[in-house]
Copies of this chain bind each other. A is one copy, B any other.
């Protein structure tokens, strides 16, 4: 599968490294969290807030839903800018809050401003930075930190860092809840990905190289919504192809009007929405879409189907959908003659001048 022309693509190598980085992530977070958790004051009314920008916001969106589902604590995702510009409308003020601030580099301006804002203005908030670098600026500005430097990346686009930080946050939730079943499943992810990664890559290549498809829609519900957003962002960053992301049932409320010959729908389905999938696929086929579905069960009527994590429950399965979406963006970029490592108009870290 690996072609000569792409042998040195950082993006390709970082996607392909995920069985390794996921295993290291579980080891790293289990030891770091064992040290960190006893230092936190957690009360029954603690709220959790997940803060990020871009890809890190999509980690935040998925992590917040996973966290609330596993722990029962109220959990929210907030874009970095809305913390320091709109805290009254976004960050709970009447409860103790633990805020995870997510930034691969640990230097994103908005993540730093969010950390500074909370430290200066919100005594009810304890901040924990989570990064894929060691000893960053964010580490200095948050009360605590989680560091996953093994998931560091050379590429502009985030791939293994997305899944590694998501898995780490799911581990934290399971650890807080004492949910050994979820911890065991998270620990097994690396093995499942190792088993399936070539099949995910092969299907992603087939879909990415199909240039008859020129409009992509990513659908995910609940914890999968952030994954759909991230799949969409990967393709958008790397190829500038017209693409969008929605909750699958929301998609019928308006956006389905854009589907036509040439539209590909990438459906990330879990167990919770299984009863609603058949009629959705029927509706999508009726308006002319190509349907590529990813789920832990077969889906009739799909033009392409990936069996993903049938051994897993919905929350721990999340990361396993991502390599297919990442390879899809990668192969589309390569087939368009673009450099996946260096997207148009973008740099590795967004730094703002006010």
Which A positions have Cβ atoms within 8 angstroms of B? 44-45, 47, 53-55, 57, 65-66, 68-69, 72-74, 76, 79-82, 85-86, 88-90, 92-95, 110, 221-223, 233, 236-237, 240, 242, 244, 247-250, 252-260, 272-273, 275-276, 279, 287, 343-346, 350, 352-354
Contact = CB atoms under 8 A, between A and B. Distances in A.
A256 B345 CA distance: 7
Contacts of A221: 81-82, 85-86
Among A79, A248, A254, A344, find the residue whose CB has the most chain B CB atoms closer than 10 A: A254
A242 B275 CA distance: 31
A226 B213 CA distance: 30
A244 B287 CA distance: 21
Contact of A257 (B68, B272, B344): B344
Given A74-B94, A76-B76, A242-B242, 19 more contacts: A53-B249, A53-B253, A57-B250, A57-B253, A68-B88, A68-B89, A74-B95, A79-B247, A82-B221, A82-B247, A85-B221, A85-B273, A86-B221, A86-B223, A89-B222, A90-B222, A110-B249, A254-B346, A257-B344
A55 B247 CA distance: 13
Contacts of A80: 249
A279 B354 contact: yes
Nearest to A44: B94
A54 B65 CA distance: 20
A282 to B, nearest CB: 9
A68 B345 CA distance: 36
A224 B59 CA distance: 22
Contacts of A233: 254-255
Contacts of A255: 233, 236-237
Contacts of A275: 354
A354 B257 contact: no
B353 A279 contact: yes
Contact of A237 (B257, B276, B345): B257
B65 A345 contact: no
Nearest to A248: B81
B74 A89 contact: no
B345 A257 contact: yes
Contact of A279 (B90, B272, B352): B352
A69 B344 CA distance: 37
Among A88, A240, A253, find the residue whose CB has the most chain B CB atoms closer than 10 A: A253
A88 B44 CA distance: 17
B94 A69 contact: no
Contacts of A352: 249, 276, 279
Contacts of A65: 86, 89-90
A69 B353 CA distance: 27
Contact of A81 (B79, B244, B247): B247
A222 B86 contact: yes
Contacts of A242: 242
B257 A54 contact: no
A350 B279 contact: no
6 contacts: A53-B253, A69-B88, A79-B249, A252-B350, A257-B343, A276-B354
